[in-house]
Structures are given as C-alpha cells and as structure tokens.
C-alpha cells in the first residue's frame, strides 16, 4: 500500500491529484492544506500552516507510512500575477518545512514530486526561446522555483528517496479560493459581459500568439506517472496538453458556449474593469440560483491579466515526457468547451 502526502490538497493542482490517487486500490492519501478538507474513504486531511515549522513538524510526525510526497502548495504575492515568481521566502520555506518533516519520520519515502512551472523559462517576463526544453538555462533574476529546486536537490543528496520536477503551463481546472486557473476567469468574465448586454471580446493583447495550457485532470495523470516511473528519478519534465492554439481561433468557440456573439481584442485591465463587479455577480447568483461562492472565491482577475497579456509565443516541448512513457494528450479546444459547459451545468456561472 502506497501513502501519498499531497501538499496543497485544496488547490487547482492538489485536489485533482487527490482525486486521481483516491481512485486507485493500492493508495491512501493524506491531504495537507490550510483549509481542512473532508475525509472520505481512503482520503484524510490535515489542516496545517507550513510556515510555522515547529507546528508543522508536530502535525506531520504521524506520517510515518508516507511513500510519496506531491508538493503543489503555492503562496502568491500581492499585485500582478506576473510577479508571483518573485515571492521566494514563503514558497521555499513551505517546501522545506513539509519535506523535511516527512523525511524525518517516514523510512519508506520513495519519491517527492515537485510542481513548478514554465516560469522557470521566463514565460512571465517576455519573449523567450521556444519551444522550451528541460535543458534550457534558467532566466535571469529571482524565481522561487529555483530556490525550491536547489534546496530539494541538495537535501535529497545521499538519501533513500529521489525527486521529480514537473513544469505545467496555465492549469485549467476549478478550485475556489485559488488564483491559478484561467477557466473560471473566462467563465465569470463571459457571465458579466452577457449580463451587461456586451459581446465576448478578448480582454488582452495575446490574440494571435501561440499558447498552450494543461488540464488539471491531465496533470494529475502525469503526476501519478512521475511518481511511479523509474525513469523519472531526479528528472524534470514539461507537462502540457500536448498541443498549441491561438486565442483568435479558439475565442468564437468559447462565445458559443455562453450563447454570445464573439468579438476581437478589447485590451483592458480585468482587475480594474471586472474587479468591482461584485454586486452584479451577487445579483447573478441570486437570479440564477448559482452556488453560493464569494466573488473572490470564484475568480482571480490578476491571473487573467497575466495570461491574456502574454503577447509572445508560449510553447514547451513535451518530447522528453513522451520518451519516458507519458503519452496522454488533451485537445485544448475541446477541453475549454467541456469545462465551461460543466461550469454552467454545475451552477458555478449562469
């Protein structure tokens, strides 16, 4: 029996990893997060503040059966999402406190799967060499991914377990309270525009550049592969849906989901244009009987500004992951349509 410790279990990555592993007969799952999740079947949750090292060590001392750690916790900073990578101290310290606590008590630990991202290559800073490969040099300047990787590789040296680093691009899923999914940004933006009698215009400058994303469920499959494939030991992998798209081609399909006319680029700051629409959102929740989620639980406008403002190609090579055994792909256009329809059917948006 394997025991997975999923750090950041309530997030747009962690909750999908929990769901993936909980469906397997030979896995038990322990989810760590600040907000305690609901225990069920072979899943239990521990509420913990990983920035409080003594408290974290005390709470994690019971994880003696841990065989795998999936580290997907993240703490954004205030301001633009493009600046999140510079929030070094808390993101490094949470990893240090979680992994060192489990390592101290779990003699059967086999692998730590660390989730970073394509900001490793500088996707948030401007044009960079594409398609990005795992052997590419780090960008200049601060990035908490570098601090995490450097600490983990040094700490692992000479130990019984190994690590794998996964680099997704723009996760697409849903986890209320998180800032790193573009799907709810599109869904809520469309709902607000429709309520105002406006077309679904593209709110950025990345209209014709090449882009790619990673569906959260697809990433959970990749995380399971990375945790169990021997060739993944002490290796880094890009993980995306495996295709590319341009928003200009995709956007009309998204408008169809909401029965709206599509429109071309109308560059705006979503933080400024949409951030003050909480009253309209509350009215839509009441009118359409939507799930009673707070405006700030559903959507993070800074992340939308970041994604729609990347007016340079964003491309990662996934050749290495395919060569090492992960062959799954997702049609990104179909994924967006499917997820947005699920948002409507699930009464998250009207």
pLDDT digits (tens, 9 = 90+) for 240-296: 999 999 999 999 999 999 999 999 999 999 999 999 999 999 999 999 999 998 898
Cα–Cα distance between 238 and 245 in angstroms, integer? 17
Return the percent helix, strand and coil in the chain, to nearest 5: 40, 15, 40
CATH number of the domain located at residue range(s) 2-171+213-239 in this protein = 3.40.50.720
pLDDT of residue 38: 85
Q: How far apart are the first and last CA of the chain?
A: 43
Q: How much of the chain exceeds pLDDT 90, in percent?
A: 89
pLDDT above 70 (res 177):
no
Q: Can you give the residue ranges of every domain in the chain?
A: 2-171+213-239, 178-212+244-314+331-345
Residues 6+ apart with CB under 8 A from 150: none
Residue with the bigger pLDDT between 302 and 38: it is: 302
CB crowding 203-217: b at 16 or more within 10 Å, else e: bbebbebebbbbbbb
pLDDT of residue 294: 87
Work out the average pLDDT over 84-106: 96
Cα–Cα distance between 200 and 186 in angstroms, integer? 10
The beta-carbon contacts of 21-28 under 8 Å, at least 24 apart in sequence, are 21/224, 24/224, 26/1, 26/2, 27/1, 27/2, 27/3, 28/1, 28/2, 28/3, 28/4, 28/65
Name the band, by pLDDT with cuts 50, 70 and 90, for residue 175: confident
Backbone phi, psi, residue 123, to 5°: -60, -25
3-state secondary structure of 42: coil
Work out the average pLDDT over 131-136: 98
Radius of gyration of the chain (CA): 20
What is the CA angle 180-186-192, rounded to 5? 125
Q: At what angle do helices 88-105 and 53-60 cross, to 10 degrees?
A: 30
Q: pLDDT for 135-148, tens place per residue?
A: 999 999 999 999 99
């Amino acid at each position: 029996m394997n025991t997975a410790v999923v750090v950041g279990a309530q997030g747009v990555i962690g909750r999908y990893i929990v769901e993936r592993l909980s469906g397997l007969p030979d896995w038990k799952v322990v989810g760590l997060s600040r907000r305690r999740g609901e225990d069920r079947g072979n899943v239990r949750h521990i509420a913990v503040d990983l920035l409080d090292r003594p408290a974290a060590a005390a709470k994690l001392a019971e994880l003696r059966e841990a065989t795998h750690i999936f580290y997907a916790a993240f703490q954004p900073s205030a301001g633009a999402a493009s600046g999140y990578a510079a929030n070094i101290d808390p993101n490094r310290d949470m990893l240090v406190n979680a992994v060192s606590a489990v390592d101290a008590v779990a003699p059967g630990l086999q692998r730590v799967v660390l989730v970073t991202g394509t900001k490793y290559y500088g996707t948030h800073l401007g044009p960079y060499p594409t398609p990005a490969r795992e052997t590419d040099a780090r960008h200049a300047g601060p990035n908490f991914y570098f601090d995490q990787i450097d600490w983990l590789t040094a700490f692992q040296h000479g130990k019984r377990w190994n690590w794998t680093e996964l680099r997704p691009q723009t996760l697409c899923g849903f986890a209320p309270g998180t800032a790193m999914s573009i799907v709810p940004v599109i869904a809520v933006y469309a709902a607000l525009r429709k309520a105002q009698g406006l077309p679904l215009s593209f709110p950025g400058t990345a209209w014709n550049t090449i882009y790619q994303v990673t569906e959260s469920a697809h990433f959970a499959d990749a995380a399971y592969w990375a945790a169990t494939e021997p060739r993944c030991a002490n290796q880094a992998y890009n993980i995306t849906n495996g295709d590319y798209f341009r928003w200009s081609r995709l956007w009309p399909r998204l408008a169809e989901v909401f029965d709206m006319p599509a429109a071309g680029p109308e560059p705006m700051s979503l933080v400024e244009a949409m951030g003050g629409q909480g009253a309209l959102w509350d009215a839509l929740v009441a009118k359409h009987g939507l799930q009673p989620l707070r405006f700030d639980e559903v959507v993070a406008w800074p992340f939308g500004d970041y994604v729609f403002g990347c007016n340079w190609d964003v491309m990662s090579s996934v050749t290495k992951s395919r060569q090492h055994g992960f062959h799954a792909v997702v049609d990104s256009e179909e994924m967006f349509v499917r997820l947005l329809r699920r948002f409507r059917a699930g009464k998250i948006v009207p």
